[in-house]
């Protein structure tokens, strides 16, 4: 799993040297930003169910055709799976906020997603809408501090760009 | 390879649960104690050559057979290999301490080390003893409880001169990484 610390250690190990001052400074920079990241992760985890519900509702209200027969949300079981997937992306974003990098999204969310959605004939536009709604709905200081929100939005944007 | 943060992510993913409350408290502690951790890593890396040579010297003093003909630190070529291995072990311990997780030590250093040493005829007991001495001197350097020893005119003695504080948690953590090496060798 890629993070600042593992990247630094991998580079030091490849060169066969002890962690240098540069390495320690890189980790220190990461630690300084960590407070905002962890705040965003905590707030997102606490509100995960609510955020998922709002995002999913926004998605189905923008694309009501999804609930017609033969579409991705034609029955309740399939609708539930849509909400589950949104919760899945938000959970991965929670992980990214903890690690401080896009590793979890890359490895467990984005890798292979295009192929899976094409096979299952699912529209990625619906996921983009759900995540975009979440991004625009979140606001500071109601939900979290501005710096934390900034971190959260950067990962939401990353997921949106990957699915667009 | 994992660090404290990605370890939390991997274990949360196995439960498909987001990371909240309890797990975050431990990570916040890593962040709050971050500077101490970096100082601790620095205490090891800045004194690495001293720690390693001291450990190998101590190991040989306790068992002088090692440097007699037929011993495993005779001739210089094997002594050099011994010093090199000491430095490698200490280097991986410093990585683990920086990451706050033992996975880098396990994956890249200890995995197969015992089998390699058995195949090469390296005495495991002596290797473990050298690691134990490295543990003692590393933790003393981190905690700044190192002393000049019994020699009254010791000139190489050095303290890190960092701000004094409670480093007991980090000392205990570093000790567990050394213990991991020792148990991996026995």
Whichever domain contains B53, its CATH number is 1.10.490.20
- Does the distance separating the beta carbons of B38 and A27 come in below 8 Å? yes
Q: Chain A residues with CB inside 8 Å of B90's CB?
A: 18
Cβ contacts below 8 Å, chain A against chain B, sum to 113
Spatial separation of the C-alpha atoms in residues B131 and B168, rounded to whole Å: 20
Q: Is residue B15 part of a domain?
A: no
> Model confidence over A54-69: pLDDT tens digits?
999 999 999 999 988 8
- Can you tell me the mean pLDDT for B99-103? 95
Write the DSSP assignment of chain B as a string of letters: ---HHHHHHHHHHHTT----HHHHHHHHHHHHTHHHHHHHHHHHHHTHHHHHHHHHHHHHHH-GGGGSTTSTT-SHHHHHHHHHHHHHHHHHHHHHHHHTSSHHHIIIIITTHHHHHHHHT--HHHHHHHHHHHHHHHHHHHHT-----S-TT--S-----PPP---HHHHHHHHHHHHHHHHHH-
Residue A33: pLDDT band by 50, 70, 90 thresholds? confident
B156 has a pLDDT exceeding 80? no
Asked if A90 lies within 8 A of B18 by C-beta distance, the reply is: yes
Question: Domain for residue B47, yes or no?
Answer: yes
Number of domains, chain B: 1
Nearest residue of chain A to residue B98 (CA atoms): A5
Q: Do A94 and B19 touch (CB under 8 A)?
A: yes
Are the C-beta atoms of B30 and B4 separated by less than 8 Å?
yes
Give the residue on A whose Cα is nearest the Cα of B36: A28
Q: What is the pLDDT of residue B67?
A: 94
CA dist A58 and A118 (Å) reads: 23
Coil, strand or helix: which one is B15? coil
Say whether A24 and B41 touch across the interface (CB within 8 A): yes
Torsion over CA of B41, B43, B44 and B48, rounded to 10 degrees? 140
**pLDDT of amino acid A145:** 93
- What is the ipTM metric for this complex? 0.86
In a domain, B132, yes or no: yes
What local confidence, expressed as pLDDT, does residue B164 receive? 83
From B44, which residue of chain A is nearest by alpha-carbon distance? Answer: A18
Q: Which of A16-20, A140-144, B101-105 has the lowest mean pLDDT?
A: A140-144
Going along chain A from its start, the domains and CATH numbers come out as 34-163 (1.10.490.20)
* Residue B13 counted as domain residue: no
Residue B111 lies in a domain: yes
Contact B99 A6 (CB under 8 A): yes
Q: Do B38 and A24 touch (CB under 8 A)?
A: yes
Q: In whole angstroms, what is the distance from residue B89 CA to residue B52 CA?
A: 9
- Evaluate whether residue B138 is within a structural domain: yes
Residue B80 pLDDT grade (very low, low, confident, very high; cuts 50, 70, 90): very high
**Residue A95 Cα, gap to closest chain B Cα (Å):** 6
Confidence of residue B23 (pLDDT cuts 50, 70, 90): confident
The parent domain of residue B177 ranges over 37-147+159-185
What is residue B147's predicted lDDT score, i.e. its pLDDT?
Answer: 83
B46 CA to chain A: closest CA distance, Å?
A: 9
């Amino acid at each position: 799993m890629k993070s600042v610390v593992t990247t630094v250690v991998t580079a030091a190990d490849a060169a066969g040297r002890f962690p240098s001052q540069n390495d320690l400074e890189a980790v220190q920079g990461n630690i300084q930003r960590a407070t905002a990241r962890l705040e965003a992760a905590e707030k997102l985890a606490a509100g995960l169910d609510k955020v998922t519900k709002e995002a999913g509702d926004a998605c189905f209200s923008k694309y009501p055709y999804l609930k017609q027969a033969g579409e991705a949300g034609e029955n309740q079981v399939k609708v539930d799976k849509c909400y589950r997937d949104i919760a899945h992306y938000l959970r991965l974003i929670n992980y990214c906020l903890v690690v401080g990098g896009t590793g979890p999204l890359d490895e467990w969310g984005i890798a292979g997603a295009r192929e899976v959605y094409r096979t299952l004939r699912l529209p990625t536009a619906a996921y983009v809408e759900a995540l975009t709604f979440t991004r625009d709905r979140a606001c500071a200081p109601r939900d979290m501090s501005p710096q934390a929100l900034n971190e959260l939005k950067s990962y939401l944007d990353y997921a949106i760009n990957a699915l667009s | 390879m994992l660090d404290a943060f990605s370890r939390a992510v991997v274990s949360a993913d196995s439960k498909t649960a987001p990371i909240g409350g309890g797990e975050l408290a431990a990570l916040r502690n890593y962040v709050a104690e971050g500077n101490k951790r970096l100082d601790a890593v620095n205490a090891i890396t800045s004194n690495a050559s001293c720690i390693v040579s001291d450990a190998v010297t101590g190991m040989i003093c306790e068992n002088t057979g090692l440097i007699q003909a037929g011993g495993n630190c005779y001739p210089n070529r094997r002594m050099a290999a011994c010093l090199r291995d000491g430095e490698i072990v200490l280097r991986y311990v410093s990585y683990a301490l920086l990451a706050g997780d033992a996975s880098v030590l396990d994956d890249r250093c200890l995995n197969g080390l015992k089998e390699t040493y058995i195949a090469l005829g390296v005495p495991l007991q002596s290797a473990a003893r050298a690691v134990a001495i490295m543990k003692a001197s590393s933790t003393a350097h981190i905690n700044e409880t190192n002393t000049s020893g019994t020699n009254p005119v010791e000139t190489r003695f050095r303290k890190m001169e960092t701000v004094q504080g409670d480093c007991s948690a980090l000392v205990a953590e570093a000790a567990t990484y050394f213990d991991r090496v020792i148990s991996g060798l026995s």
